[in-house]
Structure 1
Amino acid sequence: MAQKNLLKYILLGLITEKPKTGYDLKKEFDTEIGEFWSVKHSQIYLELKRLEKEGEITSDTGFFGNKVEKTYYAITALGKKHLDEWKYSYDTALAVNKDEFVLKLYFIKDRHDERLPSLLKEQLDMRQEKLSHLEGRRTLLFSTPQDIEKQYGHYLILDHAIRRESEYVTWLKEAIDSLKGNEK
């Protein structure tokens, strides 16, 4: 089954409220969108060219308030139509979670494998750091009920990510504790 091009919809969604440059869009991936979706910088520009060719966005290149030439991308009526169609459609297939750490665990057969403690500890450190980062973003972005109401979908995604990372941390701690119990 062919994979759906979701980058198209992400870019259309990001420029719905106001035109943005490719750099602005990349910054969104580095902060908010990057919490649940990753993309290479070059993919953004290739997709923007394709969307413009298909009439879903327009571009305006010029000098806007400074001496650096910039290109701003804006959504067209056709782009809005396609974005709305996608937003209100449903896909019955669940996405596969590609987690290299879990894949490595799969291939460890022996509970006494010498790599296991360091592998688990390394992952725990990374997950705790990510959890701390997510909690900081929540505090920064959603400190009032009004902030939550303005970006409720974003709030839900961040809440989901915090819960996911919190559970991952709990699971890793339990796995590490189970190894300690095995040493006796």
Structure 2
Amino acid sequence: MAKKNTLPYIILGLLSKSELSGYAIRTAFENEIGEFWQAKHSQIYPELKKMLAADLVTFRTEIVGEKLEKKLYSLTKKGTAVLTDWIQSPTDDLPVSHDEFALKLYFVSSQADPIIASMMTKQLSNHQQNLAHLKARQQLLFSTATAIKTNYGHYLILRRAINRETDYVDWLKNELAEQQKFNRQG
């Protein structure tokens, strides 16, 4: 079964919030939606070109400094309609997690393998850092009820990411405790 290309819909969604340059779209992937979707620079610009050809977006050129031209993209009426249809369409497929750490654990055969504690400790540190980052983003972006109301979907996704990371940290702590108990008994 062919995988649906979601990138154009994400770009349309970002442009529904404000007019953006290609660089600003790439930055949004890094800062705003990178917790749940990734796209590379090499994917964004060709997609914008296709979307221009399909009349989903348009752009205006702005001069920055003395010479530099910057394209600012915005939605067309057709782009708005396509985005609305996509948002309203059902999402039947459950997402597949690409968790490389879990994949590596899958191939560890024995609880006595000495690498497990080291792997889990490093992973715990990574997830604790990510959890702290997410909580800081929540405080920065959603410290008021008005901020939550004006971008509620983003707020929900950020809360989901915080819950996911909290659960992952708790799981790692519990498993590390079990591993330590096993090693003491072993």
Q: Same fold (TM over 0.5)?
A: yes
2:24 corresponds to: 24
Once the two structures are overlaid, the 10-residue window that deviates more, 94-103 or 67-76, is 67-76
For the residue of structure 1 that corresponds to 2:59, the secondary structure is strand
**Equivalent in the alignment of 1:141:** 141
Aligned residue number for residue 9 of structure 1: 9
Runs of 4+ in 1 over 4 A off after TM superposition: none
Matches within 5 A, 1:51-90: 51-64=51-64, 67-90=67-90
The DSSP-based 3-state class of the residue aligned with 2:72 is strand
1:83-122 matches, within 5 Å, as 83-122=83-122
Say how many residue pairs are matched: 184
Instruction: Please give the alpha-carbon distance, in whole angstroms, between the structure 1 residues aligned to 2:163 and 2:86.
Output: 27
SS at match of 1:25: helix
**1:60 Cα deviation after fit:** 2.0
Question: Distance in 2 between the 1:66 and 1:145 partners?
Answer: 41
Identity %: 44
Deviation at 1:146, TM superposition (A): 1.0
Distance 2:43 2:178 in 1: 43
Separation of aligned partners in 2, 1:153 and 1:128: 24
Q: CA RMSD in A?
A: 1.1
Provide the C-alpha distance between the structure 2 equivalents of 1:12 and 1:96, rounded to a whole number of angstroms: 23
* TM-score between both structures, scaled by the size of structure 2: 0.95
In structure 1, stretches of 5+ residues that fail to align are: none
TM-score, normalised with respect to structure 1: 0.96
2:180 corresponding residue in structure 1: 180
| Partner of residue 50, structure 1 | 50
Measure how far apart 1:95 and its partner are: 1.2
